[in-house]
Structure 1
Amino acid sequence: MSFALFRYIIPLLFCILLAGQSPAQKRHKNSSFYKGRYKSVKVSKAKAKVVCPIFEHSKYPYQGIGIKLGDPFAITYKFYATKNFAVAIDVGSAASGLYNKYHRDNFVNYSISDSLLGSASISYLGHKVKSEWVAEGKLLYHHDASKLLSGLQWYIGAGWQVRQLNIEYEYFLEINVNENEIGKFDVNRFTMGPTGALGLEYAYFELPVSAFLEIEMFSDVLEDPGWIRFQGGVGIRYVF
């Protein structure tokens, strides 16, 4: 994952650590340090039910919808079928800045160099990503990790990703010593492939929301077979 992604990961982990302080305070509420200083907080049963919504085993299935920051930046939906199994669907835009080198290297695959005559040559000048859409679906297996932190789960899964790219390349065409020109051409590219996912999900808030952090691996099987890309992000979903 790129350095920019850690700007999202670090604040999320910080929030998780802060949330974890609540159980710690309960364990020490009878100590001499806390005695007389703080009053115990009474939580109603109705409020307690939304502290950790997806862990109330008798209430499955659940659904969640929210936003994911990273690669891709996406709207995310999750169907929590049972305690251990869920299906996630993400639809959004790839972090195109992370693919600059890849798109530049692909220029030779799309350029018109094969049709040039004589000593004419063509070279890359730049590119502009007009759109780069990503959609994926994943089947996930969840496992409880509350021994580490109340409300925490880890998950692993696999799925399928499709990608649609519309990119404009700018090139320099040298026809001969005295004749040159600058031109542009567009490329529309559709590809797909399997994905693997590994993540953490945390739901121990006073609101029915869950926060998650995940990394993924995508393998292209259509346009560029064998090309592998690591992706990932953090996000939050409203659970209902």
Structure 2
Amino acid sequence: MPSKPRILVVEDESPIADTLLYALTHEGFQPEWCASAAAALAAFQRERPALAILDVGLPDRNGFELFRELQSLPGGADVPMLFLTARSDEIDRVVGLELGADDYVAKPFSPRELAARVRAILRRSARGAAPQQIAPAPVEVDLERHRVRYYGVLLDLSRYEFGLLRELASRPGRVFSREELLSRVWDADSDSFDRTVDAHVKTLRAKLKAVAPDVEAIRTLRGTGYAWSEDLPARP
């Protein structure tokens, strides 16, 4: 019998944590509660979870700082993470999503909706778990290790930069609209928007340009979307 996905819940308010633990357990997950960032770091290193839910307002540091620390741990970049917070301002949502989180849920929330978002994130992560290279050189995409080599250089990509490159490079020449990229790379229930795609394409393009300044790997079709170049040179 397969083990239940372990969900790390980092929340300092025990009534909210109790609600989360009940909802996740009822939906077939195995939640583990930590009330502080320090406890979460220890639990994460002891056993890497399938997904982590991080409250932004923790007593010993904020959730954004904890996110960066967890991402820096061995295997941390492969663990999907969701922010949970009482803040509902757009700037807070943007900060969390730009860091590379998989979703952002504001309090008060529906426990069933949050569990559904967790399930959707895990499904999306599972679709990218099989090892393969989806594009020939000069681009090599390793989905199992969440790595990309571009002209032999290993790129340092955020979760969403990786997702965008994965989708674009999987079908060179095919034009993807912003709406398509949002649905394929971001969770369908998240509060992402078109300019989020543009911002991530801009940073991804800059990293590609740092390796091959004269190569236009990503084409912009004004008013339509983005496409991966069909005729990248063998050498930069």
The two structures have a TM-score, normalised by structure 2, of 0.24
Greater RCO structure (CA 8 Å; 6+ sep) = 1
The structure with the largest helix share of the pair is: 2
Bigger-Rg structure (1/2)? 1
